[in-house]
A and B are shown apart, each in its own frame.
Chain A
Amino acid sequence: MISFILKRLVQSVIVMLTVALIAFSMFRFVGDPINNMVGQDTSRADREALTERLGLNDPFIVQFGRFALNAAQGDFGFSYKFRQPVNKLILERMSATLELSFVSAVLALAIGIPAGVYTALKKKGFLSRGIMTLSLVGVSLPTFLIGILLILLFGVVLRWLPTFGRGDVVAIGGWTTGFLTVSGLKSLILPSITLALFQMTLIMRLVRAEMLEVLRTDFIKFARARGLPDRAVHFKHALKNTLVPVITITGLQLGSLIAFAIITESVFQWPGMGLLFIQAISDVDIPIMAAYLVLIAFFFVIINMVVDILYYAVDPRLRADDA
């Protein structure tokens, strides 16, 4: 078990270094960092002094090492546009994105998994077919369009719910939360549904496909031949075996919620990291782009670790390989 986690940790570090290398290359070679930091009228001598002070004349590997060390401590330099530290800009907005992603993840799992199990067990049922058709519509609706339609219906026509921003937030330490105020909760409804819908359909279809696969195996047939009731066959044997592949893919899907939030935040003017990122792309604000990339990679590495450990806990075959 410990060697397994260690191996995973080493792999994660390699992944992070690779991503950091990409981020650093973006920072260093896309546009001239000096030009982006100073005004047009800065003298040549000042520019050279700045170049020297920032260490841009050092060998590549030294520069990358410094970048990686700083990044590991959360320091990504200054935004070209805002002239503020990137980590401060991101931290201010992180709580908004994480709260939105969390609510969406809960929604997607709480509805996606049961719906997937149901449609797999009642393959030919009327309701199942209805859900499957709806889910296909679900994956065919681009996230931004879902947002627009929800805004049109609940914001413009019915005027029930707010259509932009987070509402009132409460600050707890460095963290701002919208969970504690009525307007904050109301503001969460439309964006979180928008963000959850696509993942929900994906998870549902995945669970259904895996479940159908498991239901065809010999051990399910043998379980029936032993006279086990459907309940035990479905939930004790089939569902547990379904979970093994589902955990992996679901983990990745949930991680991508944080990145998918870019679109939702843009539609609802949600003040999160995604909105910051999309503005950075329009303005070619490389330090923010680089920082966002590294941050997302970090989230993924963490999620992957958790998924692997869960996997390890569920599947005894992996444990035996290790012994």
Chain B
Amino acid sequence: MEQSLERTRLQRIFGSDIWYSFTHNPTAIFSAIVTVGMILAAIFAPWIAPHDPFDLATISIMDGNLPPAWSAGGDMNFLLGTDDQGRGILSTILYGARISLLVGFSSVIFSMVVGITLGLVSGYVGGRTDALIMRIADIQLSFPAILIALLVDGVARGLIPSEMHSEISIYVLIFAIGISGWVQYARTVRGSTLVEKNKEYVQAARVIGIRPFTILRRHILPNVMGPVMVIATIHLAIAIITEATLSFLGVGVPPTTPSLGTLIRIGNEYLFSGDWWITIFPGITLVVLVLAVNLLGDWMRDALNPKLR
């Protein structure tokens, strides 16, 4: 029987409408390839990057502000040119994407865990617990995520001794972006939970005697995950943008471990002197990454909501 269980699980995936919609949607396939490709490139950056931009022994200020290899004065060693300190742009982008994706994924997971938990509790328990959680959510929702993240960041700066800033700033950043995003999950999960908990399969479980925690975990959670996955995908794009924005504003990751946003910030200072490549290439990378993730999210939302077609 085990074997047939496995087979039906695979059949379930490949026979599903979602899979069908995926294989018949060139945009979805393309954006999935781009996303996965960029994630892999970021993970394996130390092995595929032509230079290690943080190894002071290998960089030379003499190579500073070189244009891309194909323009006059370019160097084949530095395909996309170099920044002011002589680091290859291609290498810094690969390493930068690593930081951006790390912060993006971590803060999405953080938001998800907080949001799903609070949403489930709020929707299932109801009453005053629900009212309290939702009031907090409402108040937080009045402030844009970027403002919350900025405030958390600012407060953290005040609380943490300045010599420790650069070490833990990445965790502060993950916390700041994560805490600014939980409301979306909580509201969606609460809404779905309210619908699901009145469905008869949940009442059947209660009639059997199943305890609330098990009902939430075994019955309700799997049934509310569909919309959560859509939000998570779109939120990943937002988290990456937020990280880039904070780093661009100078309150994100420290310049010693630059993310894509930091690279754009550094390059912005040279924009007027005509050294456009320092800003533009990290910018393009950022936009392509976010666009691919957004396209995936967009497709997923349509695929999970068959009414829209």
Contacts and interface: CB of A to CB of B under 8 A. Distances in A.
A12 to B, nearest CB: 10
10 contacts: A15-B139, A19-B139, A30-B158, A142-B261, A156-B272, A259-B143, A262-B249, A281-B151, A293-B151, A297-B142
A234 B225 CA distance: 34
Given A19-B139, A143-B245, A148-B264, A260 B144 contact: yes
Contacts of A262: 146-147, 150, 249
B249 A278 contact: yes
B271 A289 contact: no
A136 B244 contact: no
A296 interface: yes
Contacts of A281: 150-151, 153-154, 157, 251
Interface string B267-286: 01001101010010001001
Contacts of A212: 308
Contacts of B291: 136-137, 140
A136 B155 contact: no
Nearest to B136: A18
Contacts of A144: 244-245, 248-249, 264
Contacts of B276: 152
Interface in A232-267: 252, 255-256, 259-260, 262-263, 266
A282 B143 contact: no
A302 to B, nearest CB: 11
B287 to A, nearest CB: 6
Contacts of B274: 156
Nearest to B288: A140
Contacts of B271: 148, 151-152, 156
Interface in A4-49: 15, 18-19, 26, 30-31
B164 interface: no
B143 A296 contact: yes
> Max chain B CB contacts within 10 Å: which of A19, A148, A278?
A148
B249 A142 contact: no
Given A142-B286, A262-B150, A26 B144 contact: no
B299 to A, nearest CB: 11
Interface in B216-256: 237, 241, 244-245, 248-251
B294 A139 contact: yes
A284 B268 CA distance: 24
A70 B113 CA distance: 39
A83 interface: no
Contact of B251 (A148, A282, A296): A282
B290 interface: yes
Given A140-B237, A282-B251, 5 more contacts: A145-B264, A260-B144, A262-B150, A263-B249, A289-B154
Interface residue SS majority, chain A: helix
B141 interface: yes
A252 B159 CA distance: 31
Nearest to B294: A140
Interface of A: 15, 18-19, 26, 30-31, 136-137, 139-145, 148-149, 151-152, 156, 212, 216, 252, 255-256, 259-260, 262-263, 266, 277-278, 280-282, 284, 286, 289, 293, 296-297, 300-301, 304
Interface residues of B, number: 42
Contacts of B294: 136, 139-140
A112 B79 CA distance: 40
A256 B144 contact: yes
A304 B287 contact: no
Contact of A30 (B144, B155, B248, B279): B155
Contact of B142 (A136, A252, A284): A252
Nearest to B276: A152
A15 B134 CA distance: 12
B143 A300 contact: yes
Nearest to B153: A281
A50 B186 CA distance: 45
B307 interface: yes
A148 B282 CA distance: 13
B295 interface: yes
Contact of A284 (B154, B272, B286): B154
B250 to A, nearest CB: 6
Nearest to B307: A216
Contacts of B139: 15, 18-19
Interface string B55-75: 000000000000000000000
B306 to A, nearest CB: 12
Given A18-B139, A30-B158, A148 B272 contact: no
B2 to A, nearest CB: 43
> Max chain A CB contacts within 10 Å: which of B143, B154, B286?
B154
A148 B151 CA distance: 24
Nearest to B145: A256
Contacts of B308: 212
B298 interface: yes
B287 A266 contact: no
Given A145-B286, A284-B157, A286-B158, A255 B142 contact: yes
A65 B249 CA distance: 34
A70 to B, nearest CB: 20
A282 B158 CA distance: 10
B1 to A, nearest CB: 42
Contacts of A151: 271
Contacts of A297: 142-143
A139 to B, nearest CB: 6
A296 B142 CA distance: 9
B245 A148 contact: no
